[in-house]
Chain A
Amino acid sequence: MIRYILQRLAGMIVVMFLVVTIVFVIVRVTPGDPAAVMLGPDATPQDVADLRTKLGLDQPILLQYVFYFGQLLRGDLGQSIFLNMSVGSALLERAEPTFFLTLFSLAIASVIALPVGIYAAYRRGSFVDQAATTIAMLAASIPSFWLGLILMQFFAVRFNLFPVSGYGGPGSTLLDRLYHLALPAIALGLVSSALIMRFTRASMLDVLGDDYVRTARAKGLAERHVVLRHALKNALIPILTVLGLTAAVLISGAVVTETVFGLPGVGNLVVSAVLRRDYPVIQGALLVIAGIYVLINFAIDMLYLLVDPRVRY
């Protein structure tokens, strides 16, 4: 098993190296110029060229890459061109809204999807199953930002129950800030619940017909015990996978939803960095996001070991 873990860690390093290189190249070959954005529409080409020199963007790409790589090896993600702070600080500042948004969305999605998915599988073909499957299909087809706009229209504009956008002003308490997350978390949670519910249902259906479930029933165990203790435990692997990947998608920034609700999270940071071509922030944020994906996949693999004793590497 240790050998397996070491192999996975080596693989992770290769993946991260490729991510650094590919992101660096894509960012540099994409048209657009941070100097032109910084200086505004009436700046002369000479002003733009001067600022490019100051930012080191006039250097050959290979030289810039070597410099950036050296910086990364020293644990430095670089300095934002626009934010007057380091990329690491910018990401840390954005971690709070994104973390709580992910947490709440995932909680909402799980609370809805897991019981409904289990029940739909258990009562396969029933009205509840058909209704849940249809609603899940619809929910999966709805973009979360659109659902967010609808929720905003009703709960923020018409009934004034929640703020339309933002993440609290100066001196706001954590509770204030979390209150601003309600609508986007519901929007993301509802849409994510569709996928998780369908996976839960399919996975439960796979195991409910297995011999050990029949045996458990023949032993006279209560249905609740059979479904939750025997079937669900074995159905958990694909459910964990989809939960993990949903978390990764949310952590990496529910890009459009964060922008629509004006949340200063990681997704919003990436969007604004791309629009203003803040190269160090784009590179740093994508590197961290890729790292999170890799780590979550690694964690899921490790969880398999705990959930299923048959899994051995």
Chain B
Amino acid sequence: MKLKLAFLLATALVAAPSLLSAQEKGGVINVATIGEPPTLDPMVSTADLVGIVTQHMFETLYTFDKNWTVTPLLAESLPQISADGKTYTIKLRSGVKFHDGSDMASDDVVASLNRWLKLASRGKQVVGFIDKIEATDPTTVTISLKQPYAPLLSLLAFNNSAAIIIPSEKQDEPMKEFIGTGPYMLKERKADQYIQLTRYPGYKARSEASTGYGGARHQYLDEIRFVPVPDPNTRVEAAVSGQYDYIDSLPVESFDKVKASTASQPVLLKPFGYPVFVFNTAQGVTANVAVRKAIRQALSMEDMMAAAFGSKDFYALDGNIYPSNFIWSTDAGVDGAYNVADPEAAATAAKEAGYKGEPIRILTSRQYEFHYKMAQVAAEYLKLAGFKVDMQVVDWATLTQRRTDKGLWDIYISHSPFLPEPALIGSLSTSSPGWWDTPARKAAVDAFTSEVDPQKRIALWANVQKAMYDDVPFMKIGDFNAVAAKSTKLDGVDPAPWPYFWNASIKK
């Protein structure tokens, strides 16, 4: 018996270092998502869920590293940019294969980028700046611009409304075959039941170390299955029971419950994003900037965030559009304009602005419960300041339609993750609902988007934020954290706004 024990101990000691040294290859994980993605073509949708699933199947020329810096993915390196900032020469990696076995070449990239310019919201944002896109040789693509446009690289790197590269002969709209270059390929989709992705054996990973979405993508897992679990309480129970390996988007109240479970542990992404109140600057009572300022003066961001997220573990008060861990963080324009919570002064300001008791129509949805909670707190503060409030609670699909009609609302409530490139913020566009279009916006945004020097861009972003605080096209309410959960057996998953699993593995 003693001999047997000694043998077992010796075996364990010999085996342990090798077990600890590398991540295990193999296994299947089930990822519980908030629902069924509306499409698997990431070019045509800006929905986060589409990006989360499809980033495993399709790849872009560039992506973001852990510091949100643009890094090459299908491109061999960062592009050579001409001195005038108008020509981007992109060298492609060689040996990259699509899931149908064909080689990726420059004509696939040209066709895909043209499709992106035609179909994708973010592509359409760029199309006016593009002069031409050409395949210089089989591994080189040149993009010529009419004028410098600095956000181009970030737009090419983003994973929703994404500039994915697909075979030139498979550019159908709507997409018929889901052929990408990603580490996982689509095996089966059963709507509302699962999306099954399997490891692509022909994948060629980058040689650099993994960093954020960049670097090597290891493909440890055999399969990734995305399973829609639309009910948030069910997702919490699923996390506690250990039925899924990763559970996305949990209510913050469930944090302690998940932490107490033995099967899963919470994943906290701090900070994830920010809720916003977007003003209708084009029509109605909030077209008057003085009224918008009076509304902002009345509101307590602190009470709204507390009502929406409960504990300070899950939110922070921060008027800077970007939090301190982003290079874009600046306090320009914030002082005296954020979390003022002075309804009396706001009442005086509203009177001086010519406010005559018109109802402030707040468009919100209970699909995101925290939107609704913030709207309720805001309504009370606005009433204290003498504003008349007309709260319009609708479902999210209705809200997205109504907000496009200038005559139907004054404020709508939304939220956004912190986007790696500020130019991607929707409200900066004059066509985005809210229709912010002033000379100050144009001067600040144009200077920011046409500057190529990264250091100068940081300073220019401060001017844009100041213009936002001066013109009040929207109000940032604060920073909030996102809670997800992962199985205690799952390794290699870092908190991310669009979680990815190509470096994940299962502990044996």
Binding site for B on A (CB under 8 A): 30-34, 36-48, 82-85, 90, 93-94, 149, 152-153, 156-157, 160, 163-167, 169-170, 259-262, 264, 268-269, 272, 275-277
Contacts and interface: CB of A to CB of B under 8 A. Distances in A.
Given A45-B404, A149-B233, A262-B234, 12 more contacts: A31-B401, A33-B401, A39-B46, A41-B46, A41-B414, A42-B46, A43-B161, A82-B191, A157-B240, A160-B241, A164-B238, A260-B233
A269 B231 CA distance: 14
B121 A44 contact: yes
B234 A84 contact: no
B50 A37 contact: no
Contact of B400 (A36, A82, A90, A93): A36
Chain A to chain B: the 6 pairs with minimum beta-carbon distance, closest first: A40-B46, A32-B397, A40-B47, A42-B46, A36-B400, A31-B398
B237 A153 contact: yes
B398 A32 contact: yes
Interface of B: 28, 30, 32, 35-36, 38-39, 44-47, 50, 121-122, 124, 160-161, 174, 187-188, 190-194, 196, 225, 227-231, 233-234, 237-238, 240-243, 367, 394-398, 400-402, 404, 414, 416, 424, 426, 429, 431-433
B36 A272 contact: yes
Contacts of B367: 275
Given A149-B233, A272-B192, A170 B45 contact: no
A162 to B, nearest CB: 9
Contacts of B429: 44
A45 B433 contact: yes
Given A36-B401, A276-B397, A82 B39 contact: yes
Contacts of B227: 166, 169, 262
Contact of A44 (B124, B194, B230, B234): B124
A164 B44 contact: no
Contact of A260 (B121, B231, B404): B231
A274 to B, nearest CB: 8
A79 B367 CA distance: 27
29 contacts: A31-B397, A31-B401, A31-B402, A32-B401, A36-B401, A36-B404, A38-B38, A38-B44, A39-B44, A39-B46, A40-B46, A41-B414, A42-B46, A44-B429, A45-B433, A149-B237, A152-B234, A156-B241, A156-B243, A157-B240, A164-B237, A164-B241, A166-B193, A169-B30, A170-B194, A262-B230, A269-B192, A275-B395, A275-B397
Identify the interface centre among A31, A156, A164, A277: most chain B CB within 10 Å of its CB: A164
Contacts of B35: 272
A159 B231 CA distance: 21
Nearest to B242: A160
A277 B397 contact: yes
A156 B429 CA distance: 48
Contacts of B241: 156-157, 160, 164
A114 to B, nearest CB: 32
B404 A84 contact: no
Contacts of B188: 170
Given A32-B397, A41-B414, A164-B243, A259 B404 contact: no
